[in-house]
């Protein structure tokens, strides 16, 4: 049986969102993007604050700080009743270093929306396994709200802002179908959304925080990838096949690939669709491809653990329940 969901508390106008350095550092050239992200959240009606570790030049190797320091600050935010949501500034390569240091009891006492993708998708999976928390696989602050969002039309930006406001305040937002969505295998399915960056899904399944196989029964597996080679994606999917996960899911949603070498159009390689269908073989499940979540940005939010309906022929993905719950008095 899947876990009992722990929905984070919904936000009210004026609530505080903290942008935190949960993985990589803030480089000087991206300070203007972070300022743009702060302005976007304020325009949505929220107060915004940066965490203490989120400073230009603050770093430890490839990280914003040592894993223990990040965990201390993260735990402080989880325990602080004024903080109503935590948005990661960027991804990176650090979450693996502090997964075992997170105060899960603080999450159970006061579940808050945690937003981010890339390395942060590992946090979502681990906290879902340990507490049932619905993690918001959604845009990061600096490359997302302050970056990719600024390169779309004003109308699209307004749509995204409303979508995120609905998500954070307890509504059940509709995910607007994109023109580029593709039906890779026809079908319909309903199930809980489980996923993230595919390499992080595979890593998580090799740790004590691995999701039990039965949690994938009837699930909609969503995944995306950035960088590396097409053969890596094929290999990750093969790992999921060997693990039995592909035999249990009811459907699959694949994000827009970014900077993956060896795909069709870059070299004489296969398309991502061909790779997916090759590994799936005769498994007759709906597959929707080229959906806007992940590194290609801007991101449609994918709340981990929330039930959704997939119709790949009609190219629709619909959230069937709210991702957050009303705040306690």
Q: Which residues are catalytic, by number? A: 118, 224, 295
For residues 191 and 251, give the distance between their C-alpha atoms in angstroms, rounded to a whole number.
Answer: 8
Counting other chains too, the contacts that 64-70 makes at CB distance below 8 Å and 24 or more residues apart are 64/21, 64/22, 64/23, 64/24, 64/25, 64/26, 64/89, 64/92, 64/94, 65/21, 66/97, 67/94, 67/97, 67/98, 67/101, 68/98, 68/101, 70/21, 70/22, 70/23, 70/94, 70/97, 70/98
The interaxial angle of helices 272-280 and 230-242, nearest 10 deg, is 20
Q: Record the tokens describing residue 251, joined without a space.
A: 């459907």
Cα–chain-centroid distance for residue 302? 6
* Location of structure tokens 């105060």: 103
- The b/e string for 177-216 (b: 16+ C-beta within 10 A; e otherwise) is beeebbbbbebebebbbbbbbbbbbbbbbeeebbbeeebb
Closest CA to 298 of 107, 139, 159: 139
For residues 287 and 276, give the distance between their C-alpha atoms in angstroms, rounded to a whole number.
Answer: 9
The pair phi, psi for residue 265, each rounded to 5°, is 100, -25
Q: Record the tokens describing residue 123, joined without a space.
A: 């946090």
């Amino acid at each position: 049986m899947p876990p009992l969901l722990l929905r984070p508390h919904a936000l009210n106008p004026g609530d505080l969102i903290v942008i935190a350095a949960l993985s990589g550092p803030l480089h000087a050239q991206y300070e203007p993007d972070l300022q743009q992200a702060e302005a976007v959240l304020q325009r949505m009606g929220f107060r915004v604050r940066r965490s203490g570790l989120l400073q230009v030049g603050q770093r430890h190797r490839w990280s914003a700080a040592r894993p223990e320091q990040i965990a201390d600050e993260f735990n402080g935010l989880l325990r602080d009743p004024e903080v109503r949501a935590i948005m990661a500034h960027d991804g990176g390569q650090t979450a693996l270093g502090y997964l075992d240091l997170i105060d899960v009891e603080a999450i159970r006492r006061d579940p808050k929306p945690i937003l981010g993708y890339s390395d942060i998708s590992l946090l979502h999976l681990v906290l879902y396994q340990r507490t049932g928390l619905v993690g918001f696989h959604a845009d990061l602050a600096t490359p997302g709200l302050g970056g990719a969002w600024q390169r779309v039309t004003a109308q699209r930006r307004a749509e995204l802002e409303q979508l995120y406001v609905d998500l954070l305040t307890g509504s059940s937002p509709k995910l607007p179908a994109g023109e580029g969505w593709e039906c890779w295998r026809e079908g319909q399915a309903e199930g809980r959304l489980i996923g993230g960056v595919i390499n992080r899904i595979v890593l998580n399944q090799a740790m004590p925080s691995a999701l039990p196989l039965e949690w994938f029964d009837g699930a909609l597996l969503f995944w995306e990838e950035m960088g590396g080679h097409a053969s890596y994606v094929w290999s990750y999917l093969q790992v999921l096949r060997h693990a039995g996960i592909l035999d249990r899911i009811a459907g699959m949603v694949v994000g827009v690939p970014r900077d993956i070498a060896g795909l069709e159009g870059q070299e004489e390689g296969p398309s991502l669709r061909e790779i997916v269908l090759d590994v799936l073989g005769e498994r007759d499940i709906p597959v929707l491809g080229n959906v806007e979540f992940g590194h290609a940005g801007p991101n449609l939010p994918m709340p981990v653990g929330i039930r959704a309906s997939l119709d790949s022929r009609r190219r629709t993905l619909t959230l069937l329940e709210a991702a957050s719950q009303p705040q306690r008095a």
